[in-house]
Structure 1
Amino acid sequence: MIAFIVGTTAELIKIAPVYHELGSRGRSAEIWYTGQHVNELPGVLADLHLPEPAVWLVPEEGATNLARTAQVPGWVLRLARTVLSRRGELRARLRADGGAPVVLVHGDTFTTLFGAVIGRVLGARVGHVEAGLRSGHLLHPFPEEINRKLTARLAHVHFAPGEVEAKNLAGRRGVVVTGGNTVIDAVRAALAEDVVGTSLQLPERYGLATLHRFELVRDRDAYAAALAVLREHASRVPIVYFAGESEKARLIEYGLTEVFDGEHLLLRDKLRYVEFLPVLSGAEFVVTDSGGVQEECAHLGIPCAVHRLKTERHQGLGANVVLTEMDRARLAAFLEHVEDYRTGDTSDSARPSAVVADTVESMI
């Protein structure tokens, strides 16, 4: 049996192509959910054609979104209690089809790390999808860089998107280069969906922004400075800023909601993935601190500024992607010259999810 231990919408998005690839080959797989994201789960599962989680690794009743670091210790405790109390049942589930037990984790969240621990505790072979990413700085991004390094010590098989990531795993056994991130397959699938149009009203021309990372939004001055640059340059091309509940709470807490004028810099609710991808593909440029959005922009050729001190991803850098290093002047320069970074769609024949599935089949 193959168990995907995931807990966030981003993880679901990126494991969905692997799940469906394995299913098309007749392989048994389940989703075990840790509940880092709860509110968005029903819509994401429906959009991605995924089943309900077979196992909740925290009690489903009373589960809430993990939005603040102060919630992490309690979440870890609930996770540990569930796994320890149900260890025999979980071991049996992994062995129910008579094959070798395999646990797959993805990325660099708390679920990635603890999912790898759980796989080890249950005696499964652990595969880490999107392995080998490194920023070179333990605190940027935090806690993702730490999660990646610790997960690398626990995984048996490391699915590295490319040669750069594989080199970061030098000395470790079981490194498999997939030829790209599974987000490539996720983007293809999302853009192929026949999605009923969202009621979102967009300007005829627009830029897109998403800023949500802990190291930015916890710093009022840095967050305010970034928004001020967006507001200044939105007079030329309107910028739509998509915010989740935690970002909106920060905006209110910091008194920054007035930066959005409803005409040039627009605040909108975070969209479902299958709704977001068409909006992203129609944007003239993107400002983000999301590694996933960086990769999507690199794939689509959209000019993109990554407003972070460090990035663990190399996709698009030196072509359509600019790393601002949290420098206001660099962000402003990008917005003044976005056309210099347009490269066009870089679609190719890479099928990373198929490579992951090929390897997993050899493990069971």
Structure 2
Amino acid sequence: MPDIWPADLGPVICVVGARPNFMKMAPILRAFSNNQPAIPTLLVHTGQHYDRDMNDKLFEDLQLPHPDINLEVGSGTHAVQTAEVMRRFEPVLDEKKPSCVLVVGDVNSTLACTLVAVKKGIPVVHVEAGLRSYDRAMPEEINRILTDQIADILYTTERSATANLTREGISEERIRFVGNVMIDSLLSNREKARDPQETLRTCGADPQAIASTQGFGVVTMHRPSNVDHPEVLRSLLGVLKEISESLPLVFALHPRTKGNIERFGLSDLIDTPRMIMLPPQGYLEILGLMANARIVLTDSGGLQEETTALGVPCLTMRENTERPITVDQGTNTMVGRDIEAIRSHTRETLAGHGKSGRVPELWDGLAAERIAADLGGWLIARHQSKQSIQ
């Protein structure tokens, strides 16, 4: 392999579109920069989800370089957003002539940029490939399936993803099991995580609310299936209020959830000093809260992985998960919207019988380095092969 990147081989365009993408992309960009030879990159932010203050804080916390290009797409329906990303991304490919496009996760930007690149004959690399919930009512599931079908290289976080992909007719030659870049970010930032009491103080909440020896729990909830239906949201908030009587709960309140609580007239269910309501938090704040929690109750995909890596019991309020390894090997328990299951598993955890689990294979903080070494070699070999033909 050459010591320097070939001058006539374009950069890797790395795409981010929403908050979870940032945590996955930060270690990848560092690994590309440290690779031998260093892999040139262009960071494109589609602007699918954009909050200036939160974005700036995330970039600072993760030591992620600011985007080279921001498409400023903004919100919209799935169709409008996907189409607008495609329309704005195509001229970037025409101008920058990348060696490949690297996408992460399963947001609309992932699929949109993949479609544009593939139709222009540009290789696509998908990081976090092969995850399946088998719930096609989730827009993310459609994005995952379609991206994996047309991407050139598929980097997976767990071995079961290979079985998912081969079942769908994808050749194993395209699949590489490398580990979990989300855990790369967690491990590299663990020592920098914010103190939970300081997080509460910054938000104007009483830090003494979580200072007792009994500890505290953490709650996040944002999925439409949980927060868009009044009766479902009422029942979930009701059991959370009940749990808070035994254990203070810190609830990082998503704007969608906050809006629906107000719209459905459910504010009385969170009006208790034992439920500490916080605005959306930065990465280091959430990491500090999770790492010090006795239990996490969530409907997030990423938090299932992070709690497994931290060894913190997690109850996932969904009917399915695309990350089964967190259940099979980790600390995650699927409780859906079953109020009695939420109640009983919380009781068991607080009694000291929560899942301890173990850290899965290759969740060791080195996934991004493995991606860089593999992708750099593949792109250079592909380039040299094309030159020999010419």
Fold similarity call, TM over 0.5: yes
Query: Shift in Å at residue 75 of structure 1?
Result: 2.6
Is 2:184 aligned against 1:185? yes
Counterparts of residues 148-159 of structure 1 (less than 5 Å)? 148-159=144-155
1:31 paired to 2:31 = no
Q: Which has the larger radius of gyration?
A: 2
Report what 2:108 is aligned to.
110
In structure 1, distance between residues paired with 2:244 and 2:298: 15
Aligned to 1:172: 170
> How far apart, in 1, do the equivalents of 2:81 and 2:136 lie?
23
SS in structure 2 at match of 1:104? strand
CA distance in 2 between counterparts of 1:81 and 1:110 reads: 13
Using the TM superposition, give the Cα deviation of residue 350 of structure 1 relative to its aligned residue in structure 2, in angstroms.
5.2
- Name which of structure 1's ranges 235-244 and 354-363 shifts more when overlaid on structure 2: 354-363
- Are the equivalent residues in 2 in contact too, given 1:300–1:344 (CA < 8 A)? no
Deviation at 1:325, TM superposition (A): 2.8
Is 1:6–1:115's contact at 8 Å kept on the other side of the alignment? Answer: no
User: Which shows bigger deviation, 329-338 or 71-80?
Assistant: 71-80
Distance in 2 separating the partners of 1:316 and 1:81: 37
Match of 1:52 in 2: 66
Amino acid at match of 2:266: L
Residue of structure 2 equivalent to 1:296: 306
Contact 2:194-2:287 within 8 A present in 1 as well: no
Deviations 1:53-84 (A, max 9, x none): 11223xx3xx54x3xxx533433343233234
Shift of residue 169, structure 1, vs aligned partner: 0.7
What is the root-mean-square deviation in Å for CA atoms of aligned residues?
2.0
The one of 314, 318, 323 equivalent to 2:324 is 314
Unpaired runs of 5+ in structure 1?
96-100
Amino acid at match of 1:52: H
How far is the alpha carbon of 1:176 from its aligned partner? 0.3
The alpha carbon displacement at 1:46 in A equals 1.6
Could you report, residue by residue, the CA deviation over 1:103-159 in whole angstroms, capped at 9, with x for unpaired residues? 1111111111112112213432101111001112212xx111111111111111111
Residue range with higher mean Cα deviation, 228-237 or 166-175: 166-175
Greater alpha carbon shift after TM alignment, 239-248 vs 304-313:
239-248
The residue number in structure 1 matching 2:130 is 132
Partner SS for 2:297: strand
Query: Structure 2: which amino acid aligns with 1:49?
Result: Q
State whether residues 32 and 54 of structure 1, in contact with CA within 8 Å, keep that contact through their aligned partners in structure 2.
yes
Q: Does 1:203 align with 2:210?
A: yes
Matches within 5 A, 1:69-84: 71-84=77-90
* CA distance, structure 2, for counterparts of residue 213 and residue 81 of structure 1: 28
Residue identity in the other structure for 1:358 = A
> Post-superposition shift, 1:345?
7.2
Kindly indicate whether the alpha-carbon contact (under 8 Å) linking 1:226 and 1:328 is maintained by their aligned counterparts in 2: yes
SS in 1 for 2:129: coil
Query: How do 1:84-103 residues align onto structure 2 when only pairs under 5 Å count?
Result: 84=90, 86=91, 89-95=92-98, 101-103=99-101
Aligned to 2:325, what secondary structure does the other structure show?
coil
Cα 1:44–1:72 shift into 2, 3 Å: same
Name the count of aligned residue pairs.
345
Which of 139, 146, 149 is residue 143 of structure 1 equivalent to?
139
Distance 1:345 1:311, change over 3 A: closer
Q: Normalising by the residue count of structure 2, what TM-score does the alignment of the two structures yield?
A: 0.83
SS at match of 1:337: helix
Aligned sequence identity (%): 26
Amino acid aligned to 1:289: D
Change (3 A) 1:223 1:112: same
- Cα distance in 1, alignment partners of residues 299 and 108 from structure 2: 18
8 Å contact from structure 1 (residues 8, 35) kept in 2 = yes
Q: Structure 1 segments of 4 or more deviating over 4 A?
A: 194-197
